[in-house]
Amino acid sequence: MSGGDRLVVGVDIGNSTTEACLAVLAADGDVRWLGTALTRTTGVKGTPASTEGALTAVRRALADGGRRAEELDVVLLNEATPVISGLAMETITETVITESTMIGHDPATPGGVGLGVGVTVSVADLGEHPGDEPAVVVVPRGWDFDDVAAALNAAVARGVPVVAAVLAGDDAVLVSNRLTQQMPVVDEVSAVEKVPLGMRAAVEVAGPGRTIRTLSNTYGIATVFDLDPDQTRQVSPVARALTGNRSAVVVRTPAGDVTDRRIPVGVLELRGAGRTVTVDVDAGAEAIMAALARVQPLEDAHGEPGTHVGGMLAAVRDTMADTLGGADPGDIAIRDVLAVDTFVPAEVRGGLAGEIALENAVGLAAMVRTSRSRMQAVADRVAESLTTATEIGGVEGEMAALGALTTPGVQAPVVVVDLGGGSTDAALLTADGTSTAVHVAGAGELVTKLIDAELALEDREVAELVKRWPLAKVESFFHVRHEDGTVQFFDEPLPAHVFARVVVLTAEGPVPIGTRHGLDHVRRVRREAKRRVFVVNTLRALRQVAPGGELRRLDFVVLLGGSALDFEIPDQIADALAGHGVVCGTGNVLGDQGPRNAVATGLVAAFAGGAG
Ligand code: ADP
Ligand code: MG
């Protein structure tokens, strides 16, 4: 290297991603940017295990800039305050069926169409059924579809009003095709032997692509069963559980009941500087966030021991203690929580056919900060491996703001919002160089988790794909309909396993989503998850750094971080801020890095400004 030129690399170890930025600093303070790199964080940010990822990032940035490790003068590492996030989710309602009422059954392929109301009769007893009472025929396991159709047709021929059928097997369509008179037929009722006989029942099947209208409406059920106002009140959870189904069966038993119970999840205790507030977690996200607002700034949070919420927070604390090298969990303070209302499909207790109801749930992201930074250990290992000097420095938010200033068109005062994996961080950098930074719990990981839970995917990888890529419906082997309604044709046939499925269109091609929900539903879940985490958190964080807490006093907001690469989150945030007269956009660090690499770039810029 010539004269006083120094080769430096800034390294930002994040929860998910480790980024590096390489530059040459001239003696006069001039900075020449040479290269960047990005790799997955190894282990937990700020712990010795994260050294490996840091080294990889440095080596790749060197390669990108065409330099060798021996030429390095100094590696700059961020002071990774261990701001680590934990996530937990608990259901707070439970639908319980007592006796043998059946609700919400939604088999994949019901037969027939319409609504049938009558009395339940076993197919074996159909021959003796009097001709004046409408019959809902119940078919136990072991009956052949030809025999079932013959029995139903014989009864109809005899003048018995057969209005519907409920089957154990999965041959509703086969039976329907053989009937002389059409009626709704529901199948896949696994516990069909528990369906009480001689009781009034209603069976509804909607046409393909439609949803039921009568049994998903409280007053529809009241009409069908002649209910008084008290009884009507009781059936409203039934109607709710049936909403959106293509078919349903409701049997009215004398003592049968469907209840919508709230599960006591426990009390959350929020301790602020001035006071302590407690809130029942089953009161929902809004109540929790209102309680949090009353104790700001939060110093610690506890869940009642022996309750779900107690377990949730203790688990977060324990994990943090472990990853921080055996710190005492008691020393770890929870500095922020984000509560999100969600709903998760859960099997109904007491159901006859694996009925699913959407239960309310609360998702909690908690953020932990410890006083014990172990970055020195990381720095020492990096220094040893690369035989170079290392320096730890800079508040992450301030560094991010300095990095964001390399975005064309951006000038201080500026507010950056770093949309990461675990936390959403905002920092205000004023024209005179002072900065204020805040971290709030909840970011990209929580969005993925909400999508996974609400769609019952039970597959984090697929949930991540649903988050990142637009949806489409594969309508034929040669064309798909995108979520915006446009149609795209292909020259080569699409793979058979995606035919007629809702897919995410990834860079590697279409990936089917394992859900029975339609495209619109998946899209709504995806967008809502993003809004409830990122719009809520951005507003929360901005209010904390804005002068006087007033958003309208902010000028430029620059979005950074992995989640700023999302195809709709930046728009959702910009929409929410537009009403406050704030200019908001996604950063473009160094003019070509997009929202990536801001902290690493800021570390180099700060070093050049201070020491260069
Ligand atoms: P950290 O700074 O905490 O290491 P990042 O800035 O790397 O985090 O952000 C990680 C988050 O960004 C993850 O939740 C990931 O799902 C999300 N993410 C990364 N790329 C994309 C993308 N193309 N679209 C949407 N989200 C993305
Ligand atoms: Mg980051």
Token pair in block for residue 95 = 């639908």
- CA dihedral of 428, 434, 438, 444, whole degrees rounded to 10: 50
Distance 536 CA to ligand 2 centre (A): 19
Could you give the CA distance from residue 375 to residue 15 in angstroms, rounded to a whole number?
Answer: 14
The beta strand positions in 14-92, using DSSP E, are 17-25, 31-40, 74-78, 84-91
Ligand 1 atom with least separation from CA of 567? 24
Residue to mutate (ligand 1; options 50, 534, 563, 572; most atoms within 8 A of CB): 563
**In this predicted model, what pLDDT tens digit does every residue of 133-156 receive, in sequence order?**
899 999 998 999 999 999 999 999
Residue of the CA atom closest to atom 11 of ligand 1: 421
**In this predicted model, what pLDDT tens digit does every residue of 423-436 receive, in sequence order?**
899 999 998 888 89
Distance 549 CA to ligand 2 centre (A): 24
208 has a pLDDT exceeding 80: yes
Do the beta carbons of residue 386 and residue 69 sit within 8 Å? yes
Label residue 565 by pLDDT band (50, 70, 90).
Answer: very high
Ligand 1 atom with least separation from CA of 13? 4
Could you give the CA distance from residue 107 to residue 105 in angstroms, rounded to a whole number?
Answer: 6
Alpha-helical (H) ranges within 172-258 are: 172-177, 218-225, 229-242
Ligand 1 atom with least separation from CA of 12? 2
What does the domain layout of the chain look like in residue ranges? 1-81+373-395+597-612, 85-92+263-369, 100-259, 449-517
Ligand 1 atom with least separation from CA of 447? 14
CATH class of residue range 449-517: mainly beta
Q: Token pair 């009241």 is at which residue?
A: 222
CA of 600, nearest ligand number? 2
CA of 38, nearest ligand number? 1
When comparing pLDDT for 108 and 376, which is higher? Answer: 376
My answer on whether omega of the bond before 595 falls inside 30° of 0, hence cis, is no
CATH class of residue range 85-92+263-369: alpha beta
Could you give the CA distance from residue 610 to residue 268 in angstroms, rounded to a whole number?
Answer: 45
pLDDT of residue 315: 78
485 has a pLDDT exceeding 70: yes
Do the beta carbons of residue 103 and residue 191 sit within 8 Å? no
- Counting residues of the chain whose pLDDT is more than 70, the rounded percentage is 91
Residue of the CA atom closest to atom 26 of ligand 1: 563
**Taking CB atoms and a 6 Å cutoff, what residues make up the pocket around ligand 1?**
14-17, 41, 420-422, 444-445, 464, 467-468, 561-563, 565-566
Could you give the CA distance from residue 609 to residue 604 in angstroms, rounded to a whole number?
Answer: 9
Kind of pairing between the strands at 479-482 and 487-489: antiparallel
CA of 78, nearest ligand number? 2
pLDDT of residue 513: 95
Q: Token pair 């320096």 is at which residue?
A: 391
Label residue 316 by pLDDT band (50, 70, 90).
Answer: confident
Distance 135 CA to ligand 2 centre (A): 64
**In this predicted model, what pLDDT tens digit does every residue of 488-536 receive, in sequence order?**
999 999 999 999 999 999 999 999 998 878 899 999 999 999 999 999 9
Which DSSP string corresponds to 263-313?
Answer: PP--EEEEEESS-EEEEEGGG-HHHHHHHHHHHPSEEEEEE-TTSHHHHHH
Label residue 84 by pLDDT band (50, 70, 90).
Answer: low
Do the beta carbons of residue 89 and residue 449 sit within 8 Å? yes
pLDDT of residue 265: 80
pLDDT of residue 2: 52
pLDDT of residue 99: 47
Average pLDDT, the chain: 88
CATH 3.30.420.40 for domain 1-81+373-395+597-612? yes
Number of helices and strands in the chain (H, E): 15, 29
Distance 563 CA to ligand 2 centre (A): 10
**Three-class HEC string of 331-390:** HCEEEEEEEEEEEEEEECECCCCCCEEEEEEEEEEEEEECCCCCHHHHHHHHHHHHCCEE
Do the beta carbons of residue 148 and residue 119 sit within 8 Å? no
Do the beta carbons of residue 541 and residue 367 sit within 8 Å? no
Residue 154 backbone dihedrals phi, psi, to 5 degrees:
-65, -45
312 has a pLDDT exceeding 90: no
**In this predicted model, what pLDDT tens digit does every residue of 99-137 receive, in sequence order?**
445 455 667 788 999 999 999 999 999 989 888 889 999
State how far the alpha carbon of 244 is from the alpha carbons of 214, 215, 217, 241, 516, in Å.
Answer: 11, 10, 11, 9, 11
**In this predicted model, what pLDDT tens digit does every residue of 254-287 receive, in sequence order?**
665 555 666 678 899 999 988 999 998 888 899 9
Token pair in block for residue 311 = 């377990």
Q: Which of the listed CATH numbers 3.30.470.10, 3.50.30.70, 3.40.50.620, 3.40.50.1370 matches domain 100-259?
A: 3.50.30.70
Token pair in block for residue 422 = 């675990």
Amino acid type, 603: L
